[in-house]
Amino acid sequence: MGRLTGRVALVTGASRGIGRAVAKRFAAEGAEVICVARTQGGLEELDDEITAAAAASGLGQDYGKAVLCPLNLREFDKIDQVAAAMFERFGRLDVLAGIAGDIGGGLAPIGHIDHKHFQEAFDVNVTANYRLIRAFDPLLRVSDSGRAMFVTSGVTRGTYPYWGVYAATKAALETMVSTWAEEVVNISKLRVNLIDPGVVATRMRAIAFPGEDPSTLPQPEDITDTFVALAEAGCTQHGEKVFIR
C-alpha cells in the first residue's frame, strides 16, 4: 500500500476487466486516478468500490481516489479536452495506462470482417492511443517521473487465423509505442513500456472463447502488480514488452 501515493494516473477502459482492476489497485496504492470509460454506470460502481475500500482501509488521505471521466475514446478531439482540463487541475500527469481495447466484433476470417468493426478496432486500439500519446506527452514530461504503459497481446508473436484485425491493431500499437520510447529515451525522465497480460478472464476473452470457464483463468485483479511496478516513480524499465504469466 502507498507505492503510488501522491501520483496522478489516467487509466482507460476503467469500467471493467483489466482497466477496472488496475484503477482500483492504483487508488489502493495512493494514486489519484482519472478513470476513463464509455459507461457512466460502470464508472460510478467503480467509484463506490474505491470509496468503500478507502473507508475500510483506515488509511485516510494516503488512500487514493477516483476522478470519473465518461468518454468514448473514438471521440478523439475530446481526448485533447481532457488533457487540457488535467493541465488546469493538476499541471502534470504521472502515469498513463492505455488499457481499453476492442476485438473488432469477434473472431472471423479477414474477408468476413464488417467494415464497421474493422474501423472500431483500429480507432480504439491504435488511433485513440496515438491521440493519448499526442495529448499527454507534454504532461508526462512535466512530471519528475512520468510513466506510460499500453496493453498489447500475444497474438502479435505469430500468425493466428481469425485474429487478423485484432492482431494487426496490436502490432501497430507495439510499433508506435516502441518508437515513442526510443524518441524520448535521452531527452526526458519519461519511461514507456508495453504489457502483454497473457490469458485473463475478461469480456474480450469470453467473446473469443465463449465455451471457456472463466473461473479457471487468472482474474484481472491477479495481474495488477506489474502495472504498479511500471507506474512507480522508481521504475527504470523502458522500451520493454513486459510479459505477465
Q: Render pLDDT for 82-131 as a digit per residue (tens, 0 to 9).
A: 999 999 999 999 999 999 999 999 999 999 999 999 999 999 999 999 99
Residue 3: inside a domain, yes or no? no
Residue 180: inside a domain, yes or no? yes
- Which pLDDT score is estimated for 64? 87
Where residue 93 sits, what CATH number does that domain have?
Answer: 3.40.50.720
Task: Choose, from 130, 160, 162, 166, the residue flagged as catalytic.
Answer: 166
Residue 94: inside a domain, yes or no? yes
60 backbone φψ class: left, alpha, beta (φ>0; ψ -120 to 50): left
Number of domains in the chain: 1
Residue 100: inside a domain, yes or no? yes
Residue 2: inside a domain, yes or no? no
- Which pLDDT score is estimated for 134? 98
Q: Which three-class secondary structure string do you get for 95-143?
A: EEEECCCCCCCCCCCHHHCCHHHHHHHHHHHHHHHHHHHHHHHHHHHHC
Residue 82: inside a domain, yes or no? yes
Residue 222: inside a domain, yes or no? yes
Asked if 63 is an active-site residue, the reply is no
Residue 93: inside a domain, yes or no? yes
Q: Render pLDDT for 155-185 as a digit per residue (tens, 0 to 9).
A: 999 999 999 999 999 999 999 999 999 999 9
Range of the domain at 238: 8-243
